């Protein structure tokens, strides 16, 4: 619309000029040397317009001829750029499809059509080389990417992935930290570097990266705290293996301060206190943890700390376990431990009351096995014993230490599983009821205090 109005405006101006010249006739005389030429005004302006048009046309022809080499070069560059972009697209598709031969062919085409310093051909060349198993050429291509600031991250990422694939964790850690220097808030880099530090058992460095990841919101606070506890305990176990008792005690203290209710940490620290004849300190942290987390591992530890004060007092051991029960009167673990002691001391009626209360809260394998043990000792009724053992076979399972990744059951919690997984062992119910008899003996047999979590 605007263009049409401008065209009409130009025509209007031209017509107005013609009309004005027609209404104002006259001549233009040119007197130069011995020549004198007279022109009609209209003819003069018409001739001038023709000369100007001829001049513009000649200028365009000459300029086009002079610019032809440059335009040809530009056309060639555009054509090469299009072909190179297509080669990149086809090459990346080949990489994704695992077609090493086609990926390498497209990488060579892209390299030929695009600028040598262009990062995309180098990236494709590196990926194609990796696909062929030629790590030397791949590393060389990734190193070239690192020469330029705008593509250095691609180079680092490629080398990092190569190091991970080949198990070179030391080299991967170094590259990961270099990537963090350029992109300090990239969540996936923080997670990769954190996992690498864990694999390398660099606990101090791992905690620093964990703090950054937690601050960036990449790792949840509860997960971060759980990992810190596991790292302190892992360090403590390394200290113990090297005979560094003071560092062992110091790291256990740090783990306890991070989470005072984490049973494996409490048990390790309490046993250390007991070894150092600090029984009151051990009992204090056991009681505190028990009030918030009534775990059967703490019951076992409580019984380990038992020290009789009077000889031949058959009720003293019962009173000792009752002291723990009063803090958590509805804890099945505590009631089973109490019933076990009562059975051992011949308090049949009291043992029945404890087992009945535990059964009303949550029946499990250990409960019915204790019922069988009670019948065996109190009544010698073999039919009743078999009945309770049959119930035990179909009873709900107790919680156990189980790897959340593999489902494997462990006798005790460890910061690193047998498969090298970090902090994946949790206190939970196993999936399904079909377990080996060995697992039943370890995690729910006739003993009441049952799972050693140290």
pLDDT reported for residue 311: 64
pLDDT reported for residue 449: 30
pLDDT reported for residue 435: 39
Average pLDDT over residues 345-361: 92
Closest C-alpha among 362, 356, 374, 358 to residue 325: 358
pLDDT reported for residue 410: 94
pLDDT reported for residue 451: 26
| Fold adopted by 294-454 | 1.25.40
Contact partners, residue 413, CB within 8 Å, separation at least 6: 263, 264, 401, 425, 427, 453
CA distance 238 to 233: 9
In three state form, how does the secondary structure of 278-306 look? Answer: CHHHHHHHHHHHHHHCCCHHHHHHHHHCC
12 vs 409, residue with greater confidence: 409
Cβ atoms 145, 126 nearer than 8 A: yes
How would you class 118 by CB atoms within 10 Å of its CB: exposed for 0-12, middle for 13-18, buried for 19 or more? middle
Query: Residue 402 is inside which H or E element, if any?
Result: strand 400-403
pLDDT reported for residue 440: 33
Average pLDDT over residues 241-266: 95
CB atoms within 10 A of CB 371: 26
46 vs 305, residue with greater confidence: 305
Contact partners, residue 330, CB within 8 Å, separation at least 6: 361
Average pLDDT, whole number, for the chain?
82
DSSP code at position 117:
T
Q: Where are the domains of the chain?
A: 2-76, 167-219, 294-454
Question: In 24-134, where does DSSP find H-type helix?
Answer: 41-97, 100-113, 119-132
pLDDT of residue 448 exceeding 50, the answer is no
Cβ atoms 402, 425 nearer than 8 A: yes
Closest C-alpha among 354, 355, 449 to residue 398: 449
Summarised one tens digit per residue, pLDDT across range 382-431 is 999 999 999 999 888 888 999 999 999 999 999 999 999 999 999 998 86
Task: Write down the pTM of the prediction.
Answer: 0.67
């Amino acid at each position: 619309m605007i263009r049409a109005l401008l065209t009409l405006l130009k025509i209007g101006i031209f017509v107005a000029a013609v009309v004005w010249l027609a209404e104002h006739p006259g001549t233009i005389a040119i007197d130069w040397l011995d020549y004198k030429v007279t022109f009609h005004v209209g003819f003069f302006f018409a001739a001038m317009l023709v000369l100007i048009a001829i001049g513009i046309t000649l200028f365009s022809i000459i300029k086009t001829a002079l610019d032809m080499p440059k335009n040809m070069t530009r056309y060639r560059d555009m054509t090469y750029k299009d072909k190179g972009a297509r080669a990149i697209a086809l090459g990346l598709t080949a990489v994704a499809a695992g077609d090493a031969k086609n990926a390498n062919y497209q990488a060579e085409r892209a390299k030929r059509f695009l600028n040598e310093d262009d990062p995309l051909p180098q990236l494709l060349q590196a990926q194609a080389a990796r696909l062929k198993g030629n790590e030397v050429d791949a590393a060389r291509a990734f190193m070239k990417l690192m020469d330029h600031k705008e593509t250095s991250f691609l180079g680092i990422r490629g080398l990092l992935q190569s190091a991970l694939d080949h198990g070179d964790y030391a080299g991967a850690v170094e590259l990961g930290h270099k990537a963090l220097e350029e992109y300090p808030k990239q969540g996936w880099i923080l997670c990769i570097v954190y996992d690498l530090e864990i694999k390398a058992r660099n606990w101090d460095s791992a905690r620093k990266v964990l703090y950054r990841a937690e601050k960036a919101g990449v790792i949840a606070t509860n997960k971060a705290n759980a990992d810190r506890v596991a790292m302190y305990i892992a360090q403590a176990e390394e200290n113990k293996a090297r005979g560094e008792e003071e560092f062992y005690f110091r790291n256990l203290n740090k783990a306890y301060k991070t989470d005072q209710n984490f049973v494996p940490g409490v048990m390790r620290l309490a046993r250390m206190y007991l070894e150092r004849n600090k029984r009151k300190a051990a009992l204090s942290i056991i009681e505190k943890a028990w009030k918030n987390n009534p775990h059967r591992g703490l019951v076992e530890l409580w019984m380990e700390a038992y020290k009789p004060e009077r000889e031949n007092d058959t009720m003293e051991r019962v009173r000792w376990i009752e002291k723990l029960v009063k803090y958590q009167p509805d804890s099945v673990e505590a009631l089973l431990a109490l019933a076990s002691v009562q059975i051992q001391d011949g308090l049949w009626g009291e043992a029945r009351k404890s087992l009945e209360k535990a059964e009303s809260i949550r029946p499990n394998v250990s409960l019915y096995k204790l019922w069988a043990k009670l019948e065996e000792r109190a009544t010698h009724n073999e039919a009743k014993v078999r009945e309770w053992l049959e119930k035990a076979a179909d009873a709900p399972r107790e919680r156990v230490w189980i790897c959340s990744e593999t489902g494997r059951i462990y006798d005790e919690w460890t910061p690193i599983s047998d498969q090298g997984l970090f902090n994946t062992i949790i206190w939970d119910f196993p999936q399904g009821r079909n377990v080996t008899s060995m697992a039943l003996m370890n995690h729910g047999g006739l003993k009441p205090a049952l799972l050693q979590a140290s």
